Structure 1
Amino acid sequence: MPISYSSKAADINWYYFVIEFIDKTWPNFSADQRKTASRPPDRLLGQGCWRGCPQLGGFESQGECSDGEQGGSRRMEGPEREQQPVHALWSNPRPAFARHARRAQVMATLAEIRALLGEPGFNWQDPAPWSETESEFGIEFPADFREIVDAYGSVQINNQLYLEHPAGHLLHNLRESIRGDLELFREADMAEYLPSPAGANPGELMPVASATTGEWVFLRVPDSPSSPWRVLVQELDSPAWTLHEMTFGEWLLAYLKGDDVTVCSRNFAPDRPFFGPLS
């Protein structure tokens, strides 16, 4: 007599599977976040393959569920409603909770910078200047860089490091500075100072800050969407450059702590870091 075997997976629907999986892997996430993460793909909803989960207002399908075929008529357990857009969890190989974790890391780094440097007074909210700047140069700046610059605006840190914001009313404007710096570092005699071309393509270098001590700070554009942003500092008086395996926030935090990240603040802020507006 043959032995039959039925997998446990046959007795559990997708909702409960994802809840159990997330419970084991990400125990610190709330129930609401777990429920959001467990939405089925709209592809399955559209084909009528999702079979009744009351927590999600599920439905029963009367059609076939093979790929490429539309399911038949369906009965909703509740009022008809529009299908929601595909959740980022299904359209992005990196899950939504990973993006939340990165966001939390950015905010934690900003909190450390505030504690060292002091509370910012700029606190910009309008995204329009960033959108215009990113559209002009064909780049999407990393979140930590935007958060820091939005908080502090155009400032000089320790009378040494210049940071600029793209808001058009500012005298020292990031957009105009990038425009001029790209033109400078694309000249033949200046291009040889860099390991990669200045620009916004993968692997290229986007100038975002400078120092009174003769350094230029670049963001290295990731080679792929899954690769991290890095910071490269060019010393024009050497000439030499150093690639730091850090995000901009990590690099700035190390600078504020007095670490030698090519630009060094020890002789400029022996007591504690400080900043003032660019005028």
Structure 2
Amino acid sequence: MVRNLDLTALRSFVAVSDAGGVTRAAGMLNLTQSAVSMQLKRLEESLNASLLDRTSRTIALTPAGEQLLGYARSMLKINDEALNRLTATEFEGELKLGVPHDIIYPAIPAVLKRFAADFPRMQVRLISAPTRKLLNMFGGGEVDVILTTEETCGPGGKVLVELPLLWIGAQDGVAWRKQPLPVAFCKNCIFRSGVLQALNEDGIDWQMAVDSELDNAVEAAVSADLAVHVALKGSLPPHTEIIDHGGLLPELKPQNINLYVLKPKDQASIAMADIVQHCYAAPQPKPQLITA
């Protein structure tokens, strides 16, 4: 039969050890001396061991008591941490996390799950918006933590990872072979101007096959092999693949995924930032290629 140690008795035991006597320990715990003595007696009876050497004027620990003391401190520390985490009012409320649509997967679901487990009294509002809009919201204090996709990193930000920006198309698609090259971009896509400039510099004729406000419209067109698009390595939309164009399309500049925290001293924001960094440090899945 499994037995449980009494945490209250363990707390009294640790207090007696630290204070060097029952009377002082009782004062520290705001208990009577008889109450502390009774808890110690019950603890010794439950373990069938003597924990305190009472033969001298000052109380000392027996070998069994010395062995128990380390366990008792660890158990009380874990108990207090769990209690503070689950009941502390500073971990209540809402945290706003902003993430561009194209990098929600694969890391953000794991981030949200981990944060919910560590801060069950906190609510996370996930805001999906283009990088430029997120930066504007962050500058206005409307969001607590944001991730961005940028060629560089702004003041106060931290680069989580630098990733290749890759041409993508439909699985087994041929749109990338067409002339002029059909491309699809949202109007607010931060990659749009740089990609179109790269095409112009390489003298590649292109046409905008989809010019939408919505990311899912672009993804639908690309997965239907009506156009090509770009994506960061490891963040491909469903039913798309990397185009192995063999130099027929321009090489694109790598991009950063950056992290910005509005209140770097806020414990919940710090915890969210730590979880995000941990998840981005995990290995990323290998993408598939469209070969020529």
**TM-score of the two chains, using structure 1 as the length reference:** 0.23
Q: Which has the higher contact order (CA 8 A, sep 6+)?
A: 2
Higher strand content, 1 or 2? 2
Work out which of the two has the higher radius of gyration on C-alpha atoms and give 1 or 2.
2
Higher helix content, 1 or 2? 2
**TM-score of the two chains, using structure 2 as the length reference:** 0.23
